[in-house]
Amino acid sequence: DQQVKQNSPSLSVQEGRISILNCDYTNSMFDYFLWYKKYPAEGPTFLISISSIKDKNEDGRFTVFLNKSAKHLSLHIVPSQPGDSAVYFCAASGISTGNQFYFGTGTSLTVIP
C-alpha cells in the first residue's frame, strides 16, 4: 500500500519560472516530511524538510508547503534553473510509524533553458 504518492511522474518547466512538485499522503500520523533530489547514478540528497507543526518552510529558492487537512505537500522552486533538473522524491515519517521513511515514486523535473 503506497502511503506516499507522487502522481506526476514528470514535469517540464521553462528556466526562470516556478516549478511546483506535489505529493499526497494517506497516513495522518506522519509528523515529518522531507524532499530529496536525485541525479542519475547518484544517491538521493536531502533538500528541505517540514514538521507537521508548520505549514511552510523556506530555504532560498525552495519552499515546502504542508496542508495537513488535505494530506498534501508541495515543493516550490523559484526561479527554476537548469541545474534543478533531477528526480524529486517526497518522504514522510512519524513517531508512531517507526524509524523508516515512506517515499513516493518520484517526479522527474526538466528545466528547459
Partner 1 sequence: GAGVSQSPSNKVTEKGKDVELRCDPISGHTALYWYRQRLGQGLEFLIYFQGNSAPDKSGLPSDRFSAERTGESVSTLTIQRTQQEDSAVYLCASSLSGGVLRGYTFGSGTRLTVV
- Can residue 103 be called a binding residue for partner 1 (CB under 8 A)? yes
Is the distance from CB of 65 to CB of 13 less than 8 angstroms? no
* Options 2-10, 12-20, 62-70, 78-86: segment touching partner 1 (CB under 8 A): 2-10
Looking at the Cβ atoms of 34 and 111, the one nearer to partner 1 is 34
Q: How many CA atoms lie less than 13 Å away from 41 in the CB half-sphere?
A: 0
Write the DSSP string, 4-17: EE---SEEEEETTS
Do 23 and 8 form a contact (C-beta atoms < 8 A)? no
Contact call for residues 105 and 7 (beta carbons, < 8 A): no
Q: Does 98 bind partner 1 (CB under 8 A)?
A: yes
- Residue in this structure with the C-alpha cell 511552510, named with its chain if needed: 56
The answer to whether residue 24 forms part of the interface with partner 1 (CB under 8 A) is: no
* Using rule CB under 8 A, residue 2 touches partner 1: yes
* Residue 83 backbone dihedrals phi, psi, to 5 degrees: -70, -10
Q: Select 57 or 79, whichever has its Cβ closest to partner 1.
A: 57
Write out the binding residues for partner 1, residues 25-84 only, by CB under 8 A: 32, 34, 36, 41-47, 49, 51
Sites of contact with partner 1 (CB under 8 A): 2, 4, 6, 32, 34, 36, 41-47, 49, 51, 89, 91, 93, 98-106
